[in-house]
Amino acid sequence: MNEQNKAVVLVSGGLDSATTLAMARDQGFACHALSFHYGQRHVAELNAAERVAQSLGAVMHKTIHIDLGGIGGSALTDHSIDVPDKAGSGIPVTYVPARNTVFLSLALAWAEVLEARDIFIGVNAVDYSGYPDCRPDYISAYEKMANLATRAGVEGHPTHIQTPLINMTKVAIIQAGSRLGVDYSETVSCYAADAQGRACGRCDSCRIRREGFAAAGLADPTQYVSY
Amino acid sequence: MNEQNKAVVLVSGGLDSATTLAMARDQGFACHALSFHYGQRHVAELNAAERVAQSLGAVMHKTIHIDLGGIGGSALTDHSIDVPDKAGSGIPVTYVPARNTVFLSLALAWAEVLEARDIFIGVNAVDYSGYPDCRPDYISAYEKMANLATRAGVEGHPTHIQTPLINMTKVAIIQAGSRLGVDYSETVSCYAADAQGRACGRCDSCRIRREGFAAAGLADPTQYVSY
- Chain A interface, best mutation among B89, B102, B144, by max A CB count within 10 A: B102
- CB-defined contacts A:B, below 8 A: 149
How many angstroms separate the CA atoms of B131 and B91, rounded? Answer: 6
Contacts of A102 in chain B (CB under 8 A): 102, 105-106, 109
Q: Average model confidence (pLDDT) for chain B?
A: 85
- Residues B130, B132, B133, B134, CA torsion sign: positive
B50: pLDDT confidence band, cut at 50, 70 and 90? Answer: very high
How many angstroms separate the CA atoms of B24 and B197, rounded? Answer: 25
B2: pLDDT confidence band, cut at 50, 70 and 90? Answer: low
Residue range B176-188: mean pLDDT, rounded:
95
State whether A108 and B91 contact (CB < 8 Å).
no
In this predicted structure, which of B138-147, B150-159, B190-199, B200-209 has the lowest mean pLDDT?
Answer: B190-199
What is the predicted pLDDT for the residue at B152? Answer: 82
Checking if the pLDDT of B80 tops 90, the result is: no
Tell me which residue of B187, B215, B212, B192 sits closest to B202, measured CA to CA. Answer: B192
- Residues A205, A211, A215, A219, CA torsion sign: positive
How many angstroms separate the CA atoms of B161 and A145, rounded? Answer: 13
Confirm if B102 and B67 have CB atoms less than 8 A apart: no
Task: Give the containing element (helix H, strand E) for A106.
Answer: helix A99-114
- Chain B interface, best mutation among A61, A129, A154, A161, by max B CB count within 10 A: A154
Compare CB distances from B132 to A100, A137, A150 and report the shortest one's residue: A150
Task: Give the containing element (helix H, strand E) for B21.
Answer: helix B15-26
Helix B136-149 with B99-114: angle, nearest 10 deg: 40
Query: How far is the alpha carbon of B167 from chain A, nearest alpha carbon, in Å?
Result: 18
State whether A98 and B109 contact (CB < 8 Å).
yes
CA dihedral A195, A197, A203, A205 (to 10 degrees): 140
Higher pLDDT, A140 or B43: A140
> Which residues are A7's β-sheet partners?
A31, A118
What is the predicted pLDDT for the residue at A41? Answer: 58
- Report in angstroms the alpha-carbon separations of B84 from A215, B79, B158, B202: 60, 13, 40, 9
In this prediction, the residues of chain A whose per-residue pLDDT falls under 50 are: 3, 76, 87, 89
What is the predicted pLDDT for the residue at A81? Answer: 52
> Which residues are A34's β-sheet partners?
A10, A62
What is the predicted pLDDT for the residue at A153? Answer: 85
Model pLDDT for residues B85-143, shown as the tens digit of each residue: 554 545 455 556 888 999 999 999 999 889 999 999 999 988 656 778 889 999 999 99
ipTM: 0.87
Query: How far is the alpha carbon of B124 from chain A, nearest alpha carbon, in Å?
Result: 14
What is the predicted pLDDT for the residue at A127? Answer: 61
What is the predicted pLDDT for the residue at B84? Answer: 52
In total, chain A counts a number of residues equal to: 227
What is the predicted pLDDT for the residue at B78? Answer: 52
Confirm if A101 and B105 have CB atoms less than 8 A apart: yes
What is the predicted pLDDT for the residue at A210? Answer: 92
CA atoms within 13 Å, Cβ hemisphere of A88: 8
Measured in whole angstroms, the distance separating CA A80 from the mean position of its chain's CA atoms is 24
State whether B150 and A62 contact (CB < 8 Å).
no
State whether B110 and A71 contact (CB < 8 Å).
yes
Compare CB distances from A132 to B62, B106, B149 and report the shortest one's residue: B149
Confirm if A125 and A170 have CB atoms less than 8 A apart: no
Tell me which residue of B20, B18, B27, B19 sits closest to B52, measured CA to CA. Answer: B18
Domains of chain A, start order: 6-216 (3.40.50.620)
